[in-house]
Amino acid sequence: MLPSFAAQFAHLLPTAPTLPELDAAFATILDSAGAIYGDILPGFRAILSADEAMIAALLYDLMQQSDQLLMKFDTTLEPMNTLIKHYAIGSELS
């Protein structure tokens, strides 16, 4: 278990209140990646090429997981940019 972003960067919470969202976003990203690489993509190997319904279902699952990943990546942009600005050379936030 890794310490949460909120715990590691507690001193930045007044200037970056969105840091606690990173923990939830990264957990969701990990779950989605696990579903894609652990279930969906291996599922394509297990189906027969003539099973169009199964192919469509797997493609739909892949699309849903990809959409969820994109939404969570967007959630991480603001907090990560805040951290980058804080630790950048010549930063005004330091």
* CB 43 within 8 Å of CB 58: yes
Which phi and psi angles does 28 have, rounded to 5°? -65, -40
Structure tokens at 79: 């907090």
* 15 is a domain residue: no
Q: Which domain holds residue 58?
A: 37-80
Region of 88 please: left (phi>0), alpha (psi -120 to 50) or beta.
beta
Q: How many domains does the chain have?
A: 1
pTM here is 0.76
* 88 is a domain residue: no
- pLDDT for residue 10: 83
* 90 is a domain residue: no
* 13 is a domain residue: no
The radius of gyration of the chain's CA atoms, rounded to the nearest angstrom, is 19
- pLDDT for residue 86: 81
pLDDT tens digits for range 24-79: 899 999 999 999 999 999 998 888 778 899 999 999 999 999 999 999 999 999 88
Structure tokens at 74: 């967007």
For residues 88 and 74, the model is more confident at 74
Distances (CA, A) of 81 to 63, 71, 77, 84: 27, 16, 6, 5
Q: What is the mean pLDDT of residues 5-13?
A: 81
* 47 is a domain residue: yes
* 46 is a domain residue: yes
Site of tokens 């579903």: 35
